Structures are given as C-alpha cells and as structure tokens.
Structure 1
Amino acid sequence: MQSLGKSPVVKRGVVVRGIRTSATLEQAFWDGLREIANERGATVTDLVAHIEENRECPNMSSAIRLFVLSHFRDRTS
C-alpha cells in the first residue's frame, strides 16, 4: 500500500454481471483492492463483483473505497 502522500486518480473498466462499467479511484485504493484480492485468491474483477452485489451506497467508486477502508480497519483491530 502506498504512503498517504499524493496518489493519482485512475479510472479502470471492469465487467460486473456482463455489464462493462468503470470505477475511478486513487491508485492507493486500487493497490489495496489488489492486495485484498490476492489474500482471498480472487481477481480484482471477482472482488468488484462481490462489492457490487453487496453495496449499499449508489456510487461504485465510493463502495470500493469503503470496502477497502473497512478491510484494513478490521485487519488492524
């Protein structure tokens, strides 16, 4: 995971349930998402699909950020 300095915003396309969509996240969140996927033996696409199926907020990018934040917060508790 990157330091808390400047993190470029990166837009990436993903396919969720056969529908192509995109998420715009700071690189640090993409890195965190990749780390979580690796820990779970999943792909980033699989993880994004899981987040999409379970999200409560209307914005996909926000849902991913909250998921990554929650994961690392839980890991430190």
Structure 2
Amino acid sequence: MRKHSVMIAGHRSSVSLENAFWVCLKEVAGRKGQTVNQLITEIDSCRTGNLSSAIRVFILLEGNER
C-alpha cells in the first residue's frame, strides 16, 4: 500500500492504493495523454463512494475494456 498526495480541483488530497493500482493508473493516464492528477480529477468528478475505491473500480473496468 502506497500513499500519494494528489491535487484535485486545486486541493491536496492523499490517496492510498496498492502498488499495482498506481502502476495501472500511470499507464492509463499515459495512454489518455493525461497526468495522473488529471485522471484522478476525472475519476473524482464521477464518483459516489470514497476516492480510493473509485480509482480501483475505474482501473478494473478499464482493464476489462482492453
């Protein structure tokens, strides 16, 4: 589990995720031409639960679409 500070809509937030999710998040952001912060901001704008869970679900769904 790794904790990173990210900027979401101009505010710092901490996100804790397993290493594998950070690796996938960086890969997806790169494919989309975004930074990790931009991708997390996008995920944050659509979420209903907590951010770490929303990121995990996003990564799992992204993997299923490939």
Task: Identify the TM-score tier after normalising by the shorter chain.
Answer: over 0.9
The equivalent residue for 2:11 is 19
Larger radius of gyration: 1
Taking structure 1 as the reference length, the TM-score comes to: 0.83
Tell me how far apart the structure 1 counterparts of residues 2 and 46 of structure 2 sit (CA, whole Å): 23
The alignment's C-alpha RMSD in Å is: 0.6
For structure 2, the 5+ residue unaligned runs are: none
After TM superposition, what 4+ stretches of structure 1 lie above 2 angstroms from structure 2?
none
TM norm structure 2: 0.96
Q: Which runs of 5+ in 1 are unaligned?
A: 1-8
CA distance in 1, matches of 2:35, 2:10: 16
- The count of aligned residue pairs is 66
> 2:53 aligned with 1:70, yes or no?
no
Identity of aligned residues (%): 42
Q: Compare the two structures and name the one with the higher helix fraction.
A: 2
